[in-house]
Amino acid sequence: MSTSSPARKRTRWEDNDEPEPTSEHPPPLRRKPKFTPSSASVTPPIPSVPRPLSVLGSAKRGPPTSKFVPPRTAHPPLLPSRSVYCYERLNQIEEGSYGIVYRARDKQTGDIVALKKLKLEEEKYGFPITSLREINALMQCRHENVVGIREVVVGDTLTQVYIVMDFIEHDLKSLLTLMPSPFLQSEVKTLLLQLLSAVAHCHKHWILHRDLKTSNLLMNNRGTIKVADFGLARRFGDPVGVGGMTQLVVTLWYRAPEILLGATSYSTAVDMWSVGCIFAELLLNEPLFQAKGELELLSMIFKLLGPPHHTNWPDFDKLPLTRTLNLPPLHPPNWRQKFPYVTNAGIDLISRFLTYDPEKRITAEEALRHSYFTESPLPKHPDLFASFPSLAAGEKRKKPFQSPSAPQRMGNYKLLTEFDLV
Ligand SMILES: Nc1ncnc2c1ncn2[C@@H]1O[C@H](COP(=O)(O)OP(=O)(O)OP(=O)(O)O)[C@@H](O)[C@H]1O
Ligand SMILES: [Mg+2]
């Protein structure tokens, strides 16, 4: 984005923002909250104090005070959230289902960051559990290949909550469409190793990502992958409620067959299926299963892997939706046809990610030790990756070279003759 636009306009975070406040904390609410003497004595007036998460989202119902929330002095280690006005907004990167992502500059340090504004306007029941999980998972899964969370900042109303992250130049999906040629085998290995080490780290910390896909994998100009968007993440291993775990997880093309067939308890294997789809996408330079609906996706999976049966997935017929399916006749998998240029070790690894039985599907730790990564060509060092213009930073792709324009046709055009040259 051009830096020539007026600073005042760029530092506004909301359409109806007033001129930028100077304090580090959110400016006062325009409508003065009506405090009863008793509530005012329990909780100091917002917004000079940080808001406890339990009252976020109650903006429309009145001042966010609660007799159930102890005063801040009872929790000295809790620090107040800084204001979003500590950042200068540069440009909008993307609007996703759960938030709008902006590129911004930290006014104190000059660092370029990404701010994800959580969509809270329509929330009727306070601060959503999914957003709490997203923040919590990002904080628990700090790793070289997971996008770094810096802080959570707030605007001047309770629906303005932003996650501040390190800014990463690309997401893998946009990059795949922008690149003139697909990644080399050695590059695919590096990217896959990084993804696997992030996923192994999350699983070690009992976090399921549940939405691994190329648009949620960010990549910087130094060849490093960062897993992002923990909006569907949750802890596993905890007791699960009566209804089980939701099946409304994982973007369709990357969704594991056990979820498609109605399993209400699933685990790390759902992420490993998605990793297999991403690996295939890197090799093919297009998504592996581009289905329009769940049934079409199942039939594409059956076509590539052969249909499931009790020998390759013993618990298959216990799943709720199995009986509603008409299975095609048994046939062996079509790996070689689909991936003609991949080595046997590569095909072996794909088939271990895309294994029907979640119990037998490879784990991230096991995959990291697979022979595919030690055979030639070896993984390329990340520093040797090419860099690309960043769409997120508003950089345009340069034309390879500027060729001179064609000569203009003129009515009195005359061929140059030898006579003219003397
Ligand atoms: N830290 C970051 N640096 C740069 N770009 C980012 C960053 N985080 C997210 N983005 C961009 O914003 C997009 C949307 O972000 P994210 O996936 O977190 O939001 P979402 O609302 O959950 O999206 P969706 O539901 O579409 O997956 C990403 O695909 C990426 O292009
Ligand atoms: Mg996303």
pTM of the model: 0.80
d(CA 347, CA 265): 29
Tell me the percentage of the chain whose pLDDT exceeds 90.
Answer: 55
Catalytic annotation on 211? yes
Residues 6+ apart with CB under 8 A from 215: 171, 172, 173, 174, 229
Q: Is the peptide bond before 47 cis (omega within 30 degrees of 0)?
A: yes
Q: Express each pLDDT in 147-178 by its tens digit.
A: 999 999 999 888 889 999 999 999 999 999 88
Residue whose C-alpha is closest to residue 13's, from 159, 171, 228: 159
d(CA 173, CA 154): 30
Q: Express each pLDDT in 265-296 by its tens digit.
A: 889 999 999 999 999 999 999 999 999 999 99
pLDDT at site 19: 54
For a pocket test of ligand 1, which of 95, 210, 229 has the largest count of ligand atoms closer than 8 A to its C-beta? 229
Let me know whether 152 and 200 are in one domain: no
For a pocket test of ligand 1, which of 91, 93, 145, 147 has the largest count of ligand atoms closer than 8 A to its C-beta? 93
Please report, for the domain that includes residue 309, its CATH number: 1.10.510.10
| Domain assignment present for 274 | yes
Residue 63 has pLDDT above 70, yes or no: no
Mean pLDDT of the chain: 81
User: Which one of 5-9, 235-239, 291-295, 385-389 scores highest in mean pLDDT?
Assistant: 291-295
Nearest CA to ligand 1 atom 29: 215
215 in Cβ contact with 175 (< 8 Å): no
Is the C-beta atom of 116 inside 6 A of ligand 1? yes
| Domain assignment present for 141 | yes
Q: Specify the DSSP element, H or E, that contains 367.
A: helix 364-368
Report residue 164: phi and psi, to 5°: -100, 125
Domains held by the chain: number:
2
165 in Cβ contact with 149 (< 8 Å): yes
- How much distance in Å is there from the Cα of 251 to the middle of ligand 2? 9
CB atoms within 10 A of CB 338: 16
Mapping DSSP to helix (H, G, I), strand (E, B) and coil, where does residue 85 land? helix
225 in Cβ contact with 264 (< 8 Å): no
Among candidate residues 17, 211, 229, 271, the one labeled active-site is: 211
Domain of 146 in residue numbering reads as 84-166
Out of 3-17, 29-43, 190-204, pick the least confident. Answer: 29-43
- How much distance in Å is there from the Cα of 117 to the middle of ligand 1? 11
pLDDT at site 250: 80
| Domain assignment present for 29 | no
The domain boundary residue, chosen from 145, 166, 187: 166
Residues 6+ apart with CB under 8 A from 93: 101, 102, 103, 114, 392
pLDDT at site 270: 96
Is the C-beta atom of 140 inside 6 A of ligand 1? no
Let me know whether 275 and 191 are in one domain: yes
Let me know whether 133 and 207 are in one domain: no
Is the C-beta atom of 96 inside 6 A of ligand 1? yes
Residue whose C-alpha is closest to residue 279's, from 362, 202, 193: 193
Let me know whether 221 and 356 are in one domain: yes
Is the Cα dihedral 200, 311, 320, 244 positive or negative? negative
Please report, for the domain that includes residue 142, its CATH number: 3.30.200.20
d(CA 255, CA 101): 25
- How much distance in Å is there from the Cα of 78 to the middle of ligand 2? 29
| Domain assignment present for 232 | yes
Q: How far apart are the first and last CA of the chain?
A: 54
